[in-house]
Structures are given as C-alpha cells and as structure tokens.
C-alpha cells in the first residue's frame, strides 16, 4: 500500500517539477512539437530527452556560459540547480524563462508552480496554480485534447491549501469536491474532505479506513469535534486494520488510549511493545511512559488539534515523512513546505526540511532552517536544532562558528550536553587539553558518579586523558564506561588495545577485542585491532586472516595495509608484504608514515621481538611489567 501511494505521489509531483517518478522511470517523450516552449533546438532536445547526464549538463553549461541572460542559459542553469536540490535558484531560472518567452505552456507553468512551492515562495506558487487552472479551462473550451481535471489536480491541491490557510472552508470544500481521482488525490483527498467537513461542523470519517495513517487522522478529527465515543471504536479499527503493526504505530495507539483515560489498556500495550524492542534508549522511553501513566501524571502523548488547518498540516507532514523515508526527497519537500505554510512553527516539519536539505548537500540551507526553530515555542527543539547546526558547521570546517553556536546554547540553557559537544569538537581537532577542560566542566555539573545515561562522557574523557599521557585517569574513565556499557564494541576495543599495547592484562585485552570484533564484524578498524594485537603477541599466522579481512573492509587505509604487510613478512610471504607496503605508501598522507614504510621496502623487518624503532613488543612489555615489584 505504502509503495503504491509513494509512486502515485511522486508521479504527480514529478509531472509538475520534472522530478520523482517521471524523472526516474518515464520513457523519453515522443513527438514533442517544436512549439512546446518556443525555444531553440537545444531546449527542444533537452525536453525530448530524459535529461542530460551530470557531465553532459556541466559541459552544456560551460559551452553556453557566455550567453548570459538567454533562454537556453536560464533553462540549463535551472535544470542544474534542480539536480543539486537548489530549489530557490531553480525557481528563479524557470521564472526568467517564462518572463523572457511569455510562454504559457502548462508543463512549464506546472514546473514553475512546484518549484515555487518547494522554494517556499508560497504566494508565487498559488498565483501560478491559478494560471494553470485557468489555462486548463481555456484549453477545454477551445476543444483541445485532455481535460482540465487531468492538468490541474496539483494546482487544485495548492489552492485548497491556500483556502485552508485563509479559513475559507467553503472554497476549500469546492476545490476538494472538484479534484479528480487518481494518483495523489486517492490518498490526500479523503483527508482533505474529512478535515474540511470537520471545519464546516460535520463529522465524516467514513473515507478514512484504508490504512493506519487515515485512521489516526480520523481519531484526531473525533477528538477535535469532541466525539470521544468514536475514538475507542477507531482505535479498535486501526488495530484490526493490520496484522503486523510496527512498534512505532503501536506506541502511538497506546498514547491515544492514555490520552482518553483508558490507562490499563495503554499500559498493557506499552508493556507488550516494550518487550519487542532492542534499543535500550527506546526501552527506557517506554518505561518512563508507563511510570507516568501509572502515577497519574498528565503528559502530552497525543496531538490535540485546535483548528482544521492544523489537522491538514499534520496530514501533509505525515506524507512528507513517509516520502522522506523512501528517499522521494523532491515530493517530500513539496509536502513539507505545504505543511509549513499552514503551520510555520511546526518544529517536526522544520526538522524534516533541514534533514532533506542536509541529505542533498545543501548544508547552508539546513543550518538556516535549524536557526529558525522558535526557542519560546519549543525550547527543547530549539536546543536540539542549534546543536545539529553546530554539527554541520563543524563538518564544513567552521569550528569557530560551531563552538560559538554551542556557547550561545550553553549561555541560555547551562546544559552539560553543550559542554560535552564543545569538548568533542576540540578532541577531534586534537586540542586535547581544551577538550578535557570542557569534559571536566560537564562532569562537575552532572555530579560524581556520572548518571548512567552519560556513560559516553567517561569514554570521551578517557580518550582525552590517554592522548595527554594521563593513563591512570584514562583507565579509570574507560573502565567506568565499560561498567555501564559492558558490550559496547568501541569501549572494548579502545581499552583492550590500550592494555595490550602496554603489555597489561593480555588475556583479558585479547578477549575484549575479540568480543568487539564479534559485535561489529564489518568494522575495519576493530578487525584491524584484533589482527594487530595478535601480531604484537607474536601470533603471526593467526593475525593474517584478521588483517586480510580488515584490508577488504578498509582497502585504502594506509595503516591497515601496513599492518598486513608486516604480518605477511613474518609468515614468509615477503613479495606480498612489499605489495601491501607499497599500497600503504600510495595512500599515506603523512610524510613520517611514508618514510617508515619506505624503509621497510628497502630493508624488510628486523628480527621478531624488536620493532623498527627499537620499541619493545607487547610480549616484552608484559615481561617487564611482571618484574615490577608491587607494594
């Protein structure tokens, strides 16, 4: 059902914007007349095709770059911008094409209409929707092929959303009643119809029984119209609608039972769902709900609708979320913008739009969206958004801006999370003393011992201590983290390898790294750790298969290739060893690492038991440790 729905939605929006299903699956249009847009042969060729490849489009842009302010230049630039999910630029270029040509072709107008909506240019999108609708009616009156319904379904959807915003429910009802069946409207039209009926004082949810999302909206409508007697019947209906309801939907159902006061039923569903979960954080979240419900605490478990357009916004957001999960990003963006038009401060839609922008490498736009989250309306969402913006700024190499973002959050919220995140940024830039300073501030704010949910602070602070050669403190923190998360592969690997490297607790360290590798068998770094510890213990034959697997997982990592070369040398496979060392040199970036490996290519390895630099092996360190007198 969901797949069919998504294909239909993508098809309709794709037909308008040149994206989605049409772009991906449609065959090249046949017999496109030269007068479709009135362009040169270049544009007509593009229209006939399914679209140029990335390299072809770049080359066309290069060849036509000198033709500033031309139809062909604007068209090509618009296609390029659209492919890179720069909707505002794409919309601007298509508008220039229309302005320069005076073209009124419905395909081009629809494309401009959809791009305007996706760019957040709402009024422009609605004006174009009226043009599309009027043009469709004129074509019908002139006896041209097709029907206005076929050509204006998307325009009518846009205009109905505009009517909802204006609370002109009569106009919205008329537009919805005239909307043709098929594709998008088979899903959206029942929601529009039921919410419009509610706005006009009529309770009609008969058309909302085909899927769990529809039934959920039927429940919201019943709640909005103060018809509690219908809610429990609808809950039973939604449970019967599917034999295999996923945990997320089941928790949503339990939330509604709690909302209407059916507490025993809610707790029963919470407990049943909790038993199916694996994620400790999700299990903890459900446990908190159970505790609050059993203690009679009122918590916001269900979205209470106060006006019809809010309900429509929820429906549009739900659709955008489904499309996002299926990577139909263009269609998801249009639905998300419609939701935000109706509810500008809808934080979940803002987060979704930022996610879409980030996923399509529009980082600046994502950061801009995160910064629009309203601190007064939703303080928690505001803090989360600014932290996500800081993450993106760091990824772009703007560490000073990222730190300033977090300092701003901390100045308002005085939260340990912002301190930890600032510490993480300094740790990743290898400024370990500054990182440790922020980690210690966070630890002081949280108290000693740290709450279990902050186990990661022990872990990251332990790494900072280790890098600053404060091993006793590092070991204490890493052990504390492991006590809370005994099966965490990264902690097992880090502490196990550190012990092995010092020749301490060798059996335990090998066991820990083996457990880490079993927990994450496809992690090249952990697999390399296992092979390298075996190598350092002198178990060369056992080390080889693990190091070979690590190279398969991380074929371009110079250190892992270097390790495999060393292991090959020790088992007598010297030709293969030199091959791996050469690969390591080819991919190494640091001159020091290259020099060390180049020396091995010339001289090979020294006798077992001594490293190139004369540092002791793990076995030698273990022997030395065993001779140290203990008090």
In this predicted structure, what is the pLDDT of residue 289?
A: 87
Distance CA 96, CA 12 (A): 24
Nearest to 74 by CA among 49, 101, 105: 101
SS (H, E, C) 132-154: HHHHHHHHHHCCCCCCHHHHHHH
Q: Helix (H) and strand (E) counts for the chain?
A: 34, 0
Phi-psi region of 593 (alpha: psi -120 to 50; beta: other; left: phi over 0): alpha
Check: CB of residue 121 under 8 Å from CB of residue 91.
Answer: yes
Residue 534: exposure state from Cβ atoms within 10 A (0-12, 13-18, ≥19): buried
Structure-token pair, residue 33 = 């007349």
User: What whole-number distance in Å separates Cα of residue 98 and Cα of residue 75?
Assistant: 10
Q: Among the residues of 295-431, which ranges form H helices? A: 308-325, 329-342, 347-359, 363-370, 379-395, 399-413, 416-428
Q: Are 100 and 71 in contact (CB under 8 A)?
A: yes
Burial of residue 607 (CB within 10 Å: 0-12, 13-18, 19+) is exposed
Query: What is the pLDDT at residue 142?
Result: 65
Both tokens assigned to 377: 């309306």
The token pair that represents 132 in the structure block:
């599309």
Q: What is the pLDDT of residue 596?
A: 92
Instruction: Please state, in angstroms and rounded to a whole number, the distance separating the CA atoms of residues 98 and 116.
Output: 13
Q: Tokens representing 51?
A: 């679209």
The Cα-based distances of 267 to 98, 287, 292, 382, 594 in angstroms read 59, 10, 10, 31, 62
Query: Following DSSP, what letter does each residue of 440-468 receive, concatenated?
Result: HHHHHHH-SSPPGGGHHHHHHHHHHHHHT
Report the pLDDT value the prediction gives residue 66, as an integer from 0 to 100: 43
What tokens appear for 347 in the block? 């934080």
Residues 6+ away with beta carbon under 8 Å from 145: none
Q: What is the pLDDT of residue 629?
A: 33
CA distance 249 to 209: 15
pTM exceeds 0.75, yes or no: no
> What is the predicted pLDDT for the residue at 32?
28
| Rounded Cα distance, 574 and 64, in Å | 56
Residue pair 180/153 in contact by the 8 Å Cβ criterion: yes
Helix (H, G, I), strand (E, B) or coil at 28: coil
pLDDT of residue 604: 92
Q: How far apart are CA 148 and CA 153, in angstroms?
A: 8
Residue 473 C-beta-side C-alpha neighbours within 13 Å: 13
CB 21 within 8 A of CB 1: no
Q: Under DSSP, is residue 91 helix (H, G, I), strand (E, B) or coil? A: helix
**Intervals of the chain under pLDDT 70:** 1-85, 90, 93, 97-104, 139-151, 181-186, 210, 241-243, 280-281, 298-302, 609-631
Res 6: pLDDT: 43
Cα distances (angstroms) measured from residue 298 to each of 216, 258, 294, 377: 21, 9, 10, 19
């Amino acid at each position: 059902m969901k797949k069919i729905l998504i294909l239909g939605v993508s098809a309709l929006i794709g037909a308008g914007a040149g994206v989605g299903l049409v772009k991906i699956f449609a065959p090249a249009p046949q017999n496109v007349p030269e007068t479709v847009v009135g362009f040169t042969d270049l544009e007509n060729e593009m229209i006939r095709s399914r679209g140029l490849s990335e390299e072809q489009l770049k080359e066309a842009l290069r060849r036509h770059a000198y033709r500033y302010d031309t139809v062909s230049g604007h068209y090509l630039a618009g296609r390029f911008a659209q492919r890179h999910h720069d909707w505002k630029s794409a919309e601007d270029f298509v508008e220039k094409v229309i302005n320069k040509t005076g073209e009124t072709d419905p395909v081009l107008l629809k494309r401009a209409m959809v791009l305007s909506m996706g760019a957040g240019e709402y009024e422009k999108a609605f004006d174009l929707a009226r043009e599309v609708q009027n043009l469709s009616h004129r074509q019908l009156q002139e006896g041209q092929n097709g029907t206005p319904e076929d050509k204006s379904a998307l325009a009518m959807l846009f205009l109905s959303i505009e009517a909802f915003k204006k609370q002109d429910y009569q106009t919205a009802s008329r537009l919805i009643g005239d909307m043709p069946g098929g594709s998008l409207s088979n899903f959206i039209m029942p929601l529009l119809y039921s919410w419009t009926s509610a706005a006009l004082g009529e309770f009609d949810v008969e058309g909302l029984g085909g899927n769990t999302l529809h039934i959920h909206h039927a429940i919201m409508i019943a709640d909005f119209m103060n018809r509690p007697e219908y809610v429990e019947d609808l809950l039973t209906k939604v449970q019967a609608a599917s034999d295999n309801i996923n945990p997320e939907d089941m928790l949503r159902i339990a939330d509604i039972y709690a909302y209407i006061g059916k507490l025993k039923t809610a707790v029963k569903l919470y407990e049943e769902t909790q038993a199916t979960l694996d994620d400790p954080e999700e299990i903890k979240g459900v446990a908190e709900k159970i505790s609050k419900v059993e203690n009679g605490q009122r918590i916001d478990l269900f979205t209470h609708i106060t006006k019809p357009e809010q309900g429509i916004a929820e429906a549009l957001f739900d659709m955008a979320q489904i499309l996002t999960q299926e990577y139909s990003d263009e269609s998801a963006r249009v639905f998300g913008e419609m939701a935000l038009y109706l509810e500008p401060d809808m934080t979940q839609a803002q987060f979704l739009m930022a996610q879409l922008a980030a996923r399509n490498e529009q980082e600046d736009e994502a950061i801009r969206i995160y910064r629009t989250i309203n601190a007064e309306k939703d303080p928690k969402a505001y803090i989360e958004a600014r932290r996500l913006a800081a993450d993106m700024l760091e990824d772009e190499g703007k560490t000073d801006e990222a730190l300033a973002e977090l300092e701003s959050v901390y100045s308002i919220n005085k939260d340990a999370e912002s301190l930890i995140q600032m510490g993480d940024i300094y740790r990743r830039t290898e400024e370990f003393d500054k990182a440790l300073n922020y980690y210690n501030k966070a630890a002081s704010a949280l108290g000693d011992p740290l709450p279990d949910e902050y186990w990661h602070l022990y872990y990251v602070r332990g790494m900072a201590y280790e890098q600053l050669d404060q091993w006793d403190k590092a070991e204490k923190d890493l052990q504390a983290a492991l006590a809370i998360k005994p099966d965490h592969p990264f902690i097992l690997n880090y502490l196990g390898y550190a012990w092995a490297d010092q020749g301490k607790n060798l059996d335990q360290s090998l066991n820990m790294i083996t457990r880490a590798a079993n927990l994450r068998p496809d992690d090249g770094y952990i697999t390399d750790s296992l092979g390298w510890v075996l190598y350092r213990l002198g178990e060369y034959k056992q080390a080889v298969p693990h190091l070979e697997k690590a190279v398969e997982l991380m074929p371009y990592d110079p250190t892992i290739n270097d390790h495999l070369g060393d292991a090959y040398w020790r088992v007598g496979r010297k030709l293969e060893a030199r091959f791996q060392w050469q690969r390591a040199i080819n991919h190494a970036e640091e001159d020091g690492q290259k020099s060390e490996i180049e020396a091995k290519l010339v001289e090979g390895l020294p006798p077992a038991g001594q490293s190139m630099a004369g540092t002791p092996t793990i076995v030698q360190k273990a022997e030395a440790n065993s001779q140290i007198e203990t008090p």
